[in-house]
């Protein structure tokens, strides 16, 4: 049997909302019955509202809950049905340089800067046609998390595990990350190599502009920078340690982090790339990659078979929508005969 993969497991947390809704429904039903009991004796309750069917009300609630579970299962993007696709390498080598410093937890870009950056990378991976990709993360130190590969599934798995704990030291050494990423390319040939830096631009005197200029002039590596966060107001940096959310403080004052566009723009200009001020809005990085970063003089290599899985979310999304449609047209009223019989029985009594 083919293995099953889930591309967006983070959405499983939405099941807590479904559980909360179930609790609200049960509490509401309990309070409704309690209110009716205070109003009349138990044996009179069926005659107070003879047209209302508790069974149908329960069925409607069950339909809604089941549909919501189906939607959550669709959101986690299940995939099965293994197949192989011939992919011809276009010859571009791209290393994503991802900032994992604590400032990337700021929530001015929803849900936070780091998760937005990771989603941008996933979007690019989804549309790749054979380029090799790698991943370098950095905070106080830079680390190669994924060497250049055409196995995009492996790259996604590594990306999913990345968080601010991936940085072994605090701080933000952007220049060191650029140098580390440049040394991660497999050959010394000029051209056909790019770095895509996703950061808020904070740096601790690691000379990132000089690093970008050097790798471009000596090795032909272009640098594209994606700025994340609000450059005007900025945002606080949340801190969670098992209790309620608080915010990072320094000398008794809350720390506000702002995106620094100047450094990122200077890096891109020095290295023949471009600065993308994504800020707090959504940006189509995948579209930009295919239109601008993929160059016309790309090399081509032999085709290679890539393992893929069929997208299967419709098996859950379609039944969920059908259940919601059924719930919307299902009435809570009893059938005419049953309701009339109960009413006549109450009248004769």
Question: Do 213 and 268 share a domain, yes or no?
Answer: yes
Contact 327, 319 (CB under 8 A): no
What is the C-alpha separation between 80 and 11, in angstroms, rounded?
18
Burial readout 105-118 (b: 16 or more C-beta within 10 A, e: otherwise): bbbbbeebbbbbbb
pLDDT digits (tens, 9 = 90+) for 254-273: 889 999 999 999 999 999 99
Question: Do 212 and 260 share a domain, yes or no?
Answer: yes
**CATH code, domain carrying 189:** 3.40.50.410
In a domain, 218, yes or no: yes
Question: Do 171 and 221 share a domain, yes or no?
Answer: yes
Question: Do 188 and 53 share a domain, yes or no?
Answer: no
* Mean pLDDT over each residue of the chain, to the nearest integer: 84
Question: Do 151 and 273 share a domain, yes or no?
Answer: yes
Question: Do 36 and 161 share a domain, yes or no?
Answer: no
pLDDT digits (tens, 9 = 90+) for 282-314: 899 998 988 888 754 455 555 566 667 788 889
Question: Do 55 and 178 share a domain, yes or no?
Answer: no
Question: Do 284 and 320 share a domain, yes or no?
Answer: no
Question: Do 67 and 154 share a domain, yes or no?
Answer: no
Number of domains in the chain: 2
Phi-psi region of 201 (alpha: psi -120 to 50; beta: other; left: phi over 0): left
Q: Which of 48, 45, 65, 68 is nearest to 57 (CA)?
A: 65
Residue 255 structural domain:
90-301
In a domain, 280, yes or no: yes
pTM of the model: 0.63
């Amino acid at each position: 049997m083919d293995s099953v993969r889930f591309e967006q497991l983070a959405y499983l947390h939405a099941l807590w909302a479904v559980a909360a809704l179930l609790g609200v429904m049960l509490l509401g039903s309990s309070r409704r019955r309690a209110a009716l009991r205070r109003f009349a004796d138990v044996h009179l309750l069926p005659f107070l509202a003879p047209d209302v069917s508790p069974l149908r009300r329960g069925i409607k609630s069950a339909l809604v809950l089941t549909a919501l579970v189906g939607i959550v299962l669709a959101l986690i993007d299940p995939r099965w049905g293994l197949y192989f696709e011939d992919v011809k390498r276009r010859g571009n080598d791209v290393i994503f340089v991802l900032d994992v410093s604590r400032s990337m937890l700021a929530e001015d870009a929803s849900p936070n800067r780091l998760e937005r950056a990771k989603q941008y990378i996933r979007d690019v991976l989804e549309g790749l046609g054979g380029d090799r990709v790698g991943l370098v993360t950095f905070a106080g130190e830079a680390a190669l998390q994924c060497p250049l590969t055409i196995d995009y599934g492996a790259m996604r798995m590594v990306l999913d595990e990345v968080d601010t704990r991936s940085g072994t030291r605090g701080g933000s050494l952007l220049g060191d990350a650029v140098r580390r990423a440049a040394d991660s390319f497999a050959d010394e040939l000029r051209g056909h190599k790019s770095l895509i830096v996703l950061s808020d631009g904070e740096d601790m005197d690691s000379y990132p502009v000089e690093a970008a200029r050097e790798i471009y002039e000596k090795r032909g590596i272009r640098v594209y920078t994606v700025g994340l966060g609000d450059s005007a107001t900025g945002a606080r940096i949340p801190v969670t340690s098992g209790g309620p959310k608080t915010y990072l403080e320094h000398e008794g004052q809350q720390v506000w982090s702002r995106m620094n566009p100047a450094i990122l723009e200077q890096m891109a200009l020095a290295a023949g790339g471009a600065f993308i001020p994504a800020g707090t809005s959504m940006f189509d990085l995948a579209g930009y990659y295919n239109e601008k970063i993929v160059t016309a003089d790309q090399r081509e290599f032999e085709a290679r078979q890539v393992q893929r899985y069929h997208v299967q979310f419709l098996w859950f999304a379609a039944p969920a929508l059908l259940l919601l449609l059924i719930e919307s047209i299902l009435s809570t009223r009893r059938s005419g005969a049953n309701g009339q019989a109960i009413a006549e029985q109450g009248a004769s009594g």
